Amino acid sequence: MLLFHHQSSLHHDPRALSPDHPDRPERLHAIQAALTEAGWLGCELVQAPAATPAQLALVHAPEHIDSVRRLCEAGGGHIDEDTFVDETSYHAALHAAGGAMEMVRALLGGEAHTAFSAMRPSGHHAERDRAMGFCLFNNVAVAAELAIRELGLERVFVLDWDVHHGNGTASIFRHRPDVLFASIHQSNLYPGTGSVNDAGSGAGLGYTINIPVPRGSDDEVWLSVLEHVIIPAAQEFRPQLVLISAGFDGHHRDPLSDCRLEADSFGQMAAQVHDLGAAVRAPVGAVLEGGYEPSALAESMLTTIRGLKGEIASESIAPDRLVTSRAAAHVGHFWSL
């Protein structure tokens, strides 16, 4: 398994302008310490290159890319009430996007079957022309678009299990049938998008799967909708590449949500995705999103890596009577469940 990283991820620090900001370099320090103690779980470390503005323009407006660059070069500032940058942030964001893209090149080039780009800032909230929610550029969307536009794929599946809806990724691909986007997220949480009724639009109708879960949902709910709704749809879609927006803020110790997942919950979700990749013969890559309690993040990251490597056996769970049945009623209009 390949693990993409870069030192610039440790420099981006929104606390320069927002002292209590939860997206801190300590998040990655905790991951690195845990992986070091675990002998890096057999992962091969790879230095992430920087994306070029032209590469970011696969999914972002040039004006947006330039505005982020100019703000950082001027010393930083706030983009919105949650999103802050300093003079290092543009450089870090280029490497975060570049790591996700290089990960896809490596996976499709046969260098590995699984990989993880563990970098920050995160990306899944970033829209074509807007940074928001701690995210500057949409790392997973750029990687998916690279796979299609430049590496010749016809179908990419993106699973977003961050507790916040991946509005940016959904928006970028909502009119497209070549990217199946599925999100499990806490309902009525930032950014307020991701209704179960939103299935995409135009040629992309049915290729967006949104499953909001109630606050307090535990792994029985999350694993149930993944196993009984999302995975069957993805199997029918037959992706040639599987990407995960891997946020760990659904953990019960995370300060930004009210879900009740454990570190082992993420290992089980990863195991299900590993099995999906094996079934459709597609490589699997993950991109780090949220997770704001450092020790919970590190524990969850380790179990995810083990699950993606096939070291955790996936376990079947009974469908949740309320959430799963409601999701299936919507998704079943477009996919055989």
pLDDT digits (tens, 9 = 90+) for 266-282: 999 999 999 999 999 99
d(CA 118, CA 90): 17
Could you tell me if residue 229 is inside a domain?
yes
Q: pTM for this one?
A: 0.98
Could you tell me if residue 277 is inside a domain?
yes
b/e burial code for range 62-77 (CB count within 10 A of at least 16 → b): eebbeebbebbeeebe
- H helices within the chain, ranges in order? 26-37, 53-56, 62-73, 89-108, 139-149, 167-173, 219-225, 231-237, 263-280, 294-308, 323-331
No. of H helices and E strands in the chain?
11, 10
**pLDDT, tens digit, for every residue of 67-94?**
999 999 999 999 999 999 999 999 999 9
Report strand pairing: 156-160 vs 241-246: parallel
Catalytic residue check, 252: no
Q: Tokens standing for 81?
A: 């009430």
Domain around 207: 2-331
**pLDDT, tens digit, for every residue of 186-233?**
999 999 999 999 999 999 999 999 999 999 999 999 999 999 999 999
Could you tell me if residue 93 is inside a domain?
yes
d(CA 127, CA 35): 32
**Sign of torsion, CA 291 295 296 300?**
positive
Nearest CA among 251, 249, 229 for reference residue 328:
229
Q: Is the link from the previous residue into 191 a cis peptide, with omega within 30 of 0?
A: yes
Could you tell me if residue 273 is inside a domain?
yes
d(CA 78, CA 83): 6
Nearest CA among 170, 226, 242 for reference residue 201:
170
Could you tell me if residue 235 is inside a domain?
yes
Could you tell me if residue 314 is inside a domain?
yes
Q: Which of 125, 185, 251, 274 is catalytic?
A: 125
Do 261 and 247 form a contact (C-beta atoms < 8 A)? no
- H helices within 74-229, ranges in order? 89-108, 139-149, 167-173, 219-225
Could you tell me if residue 337 is inside a domain?
no
Three-class SS of residue 5?
strand
Report strand pairing: 76-78 vs 84-86: antiparallel
Do 94 and 13 form a contact (C-beta atoms < 8 A)? no
Q: Tokens standing for 244?
A: 């995960």
Q: What is the pLDDT along the chain (337 residues), one digit of tens a residue?
A: 999 999 999 999 999 899 999 999 999 999 999 999 999 999 999 999 999 999 999 999 999 999 999 999 999 999 999 999 999 999 999 999 999 999 999 999 999 999 999 999 999 999 999 999 999 999 999 999 999 999 999 999 999 999 999 999 999 999 999 999 999 999 999 999 999 999 999 999 999 999 999 999 999 999 999 999 999 999 999 999 999 999 999 999 999 999 999 999 999 999 999 999 999 999 999 999 999 999 999 999 999 999 999 999 999 999 988 999 999 999 999 999 9
Could you tell me if residue 336 is inside a domain?
no
Do 161 and 244 form a contact (C-beta atoms < 8 A)? yes
Amino acid at 181: F
Do 284 and 242 form a contact (C-beta atoms < 8 A)? yes
Do 139 and 165 form a contact (C-beta atoms < 8 A)? no
Helix (H) or strand (E) holding 114: strand 114-117
CATH of the domain at 147: 3.40.800.20
Number of domains in the chain: 1
